[in-house]
Amino acid sequence: MNAAKGITPRAEDFSAWYNDVIMRAQVADYSPVRGCMVIRPWGYGIWELMQGALDGMFKATGHQNAYFPLFIPQSFLAREAQHVEGFAPETAVVTRGGGKELEEPLVVRPTSETIIYAMLGKWIQSYRDLPVLLNQWANVVRWELRTRLFLRTTEFLWQEGHTAHATAAEAEEETLRILGVYREFMEQWMAMPVLTGAKTDAERFAGAVRTYACEALMQDNRALQAGTSHFLGQNFARAFDVQFQTADGGMDHVWSTSWGVSTRLVGALIMVHSDDVGLVCPPRLAPRQVVIVPIWKSDADRASTVEVAQRLRQDLERAGLRVEMDAREGMKPGAKYYEWEGRGVPLRLEIGPRDVAQGQVMAARRIGGKQPVPLADAASAIVQLLDGIQAELLARARARRDEHSVRGVTKQQLIERMEEEAGFAYAGFCGDPACEQAIKERTKATVRVLPDAEFRSPEAPTRCVWCDRPAVTEAVWAKAY
Ligand SMILES: [Zn+2]
């Protein structure tokens, strides 16, 4: 497919392309408030499908939803030293309400650990009250100076999970369970392959003992942190004095976790799959999976093709598919195709008079390929086609990522690679933050993760890529969003 008018080609300017795709697909728009965005129905539809899938997975792993206030007393944030240091520079603070100065300023939540721990302190008394497995769907505010639609906005939507446990081992297990849930969601729903692993101390969440992340590679070969899961140890429990009576009668602070993914995932989905024509949406997260376009020249043709299209629509909806029917008058089929391609509908079904006569429809895949589908039992054939597209998108993204991953790089190769094609570079790391900082300054790359076993190189690196001292781990480097 040729590039669409009004869309900057990816190869020319990736970030202009990204914005153009969002505008053309009507996913989001800039708002009158700087740094904030408006999520339009098409984009919100993608987010709702993401929410639905994740919410089901959270509940299946024993979590319940709750809701905590948007405002947090400023003093709460200060109770955990690293946490306040990490978040204070980007908070929005309310100092007036109802026309009066407030006695204590209120922070608009940048994340909710502090207010949740203030409440857990009231609710948890004994080991019998544990574990507490909560999730909240909410908006948060982090004052950003340089913003980009979905990737970095001052206000964004997300879920934040917060759990409290009786032992460190249980909390650590929970942290990794959720990392697995995120990975499954990203691969099976978003068709986006991810690397998982731990963050270095320099990259971990403010207030966490250990942070784990899912990292994906975008089409410009930059990495995007798609989700994080934190083992918080007893840091917040101590700061908010959340203690419980243990089974043997002693007292201990709870061990806790927090984890989140945000509307940033919508940006990731766009950057992983879309092309120079517009949005490419994986079928499982497409607000409309199928668009049916009846084609006619005469009124008689119109009546017959629209009738067949309507019956087909009912069949597909009965099979659980999300279907759009585009029978608009006064618009050429080509113009309709162009519009739905730009919006990323995975499959288009064209029905002309000849198709009606032959008892078939033409199925055109958004990612290329066209074939006739018999109208008899069309639903199961269409479901199969959509499953095929979903699988192909994941395979394609995985092949792309692997093609732009390199293992065992030397210092010189790391420098050159980050200047040119970027991507993921696997290398030995001594673990010294000074080395990490030096690499960041020289190459603009950061450690994305210390990869989990499954992603590690078959032969463990023995030397640090930068200082040549013995490596304590393998690290994956990339330039990141
Ligand atoms: Zn080193």
* Residue ranges for the chain with pLDDT beneath 70: 1-4
In this prediction, residue 4 carries a pLDDT of 67
In this prediction, residue 38 carries a pLDDT of 97
C-alpha of residue 428 to centroid of ligand 1, in Å: 8
SS3 32: coil
| Residue 408, phi then psi, degrees to nearest 5 | 65, 40
C-alpha of residue 413 to centroid of ligand 1, in Å: 15
In this prediction, residue 203 carries a pLDDT of 87
CB of 164 closer than 8 Å to CB of 236: no
CB of 71 closer than 8 Å to CB of 109: yes
Query: Is this prediction's pTM over 0.85?
Result: yes
- Report the alpha-carbon distance of residue 19 to residue 17 in Å, rounded: 6
In this prediction, residue 176 carries a pLDDT of 98
C-alpha of residue 459 to centroid of ligand 1, in Å: 18
Q: What is the DSSP letter of 427?
A: E
CB of 107 closer than 8 Å to CB of 77: yes
Q: Which helix (H) or strand (E) holds 175?
A: helix 168-188
Rounded to the nearest 5 degrees, what angle is found at the Cα of 140, between the Cα atoms of 135 and 141? 160
C-alpha of residue 461 to centroid of ligand 1, in Å: 12
In this prediction, residue 3 carries a pLDDT of 60
Using one digit for the tens of pLDDT, what is the confidence trace for 328-361?
999 999 999 999 999 999 999 999 999 999 999 9
Selection from 159, 76, 142 nearest residue 108 by Cα = 142
C-alpha of residue 213 to centroid of ligand 1, in Å: 22
C-alpha of residue 430 to centroid of ligand 1, in Å: 4
C-alpha of residue 415 to centroid of ligand 1, in Å: 15
In this prediction, residue 6 carries a pLDDT of 82
CA-based diameter of the chain, in Å?
A: 84
Share of the chain above pLDDT 90, in %: 91
Using one digit for the tens of pLDDT, what is the confidence trace for 278-289?
999 999 999 999
- Report the alpha-carbon distance of residue 216 to residue 195 in Å, rounded: 7
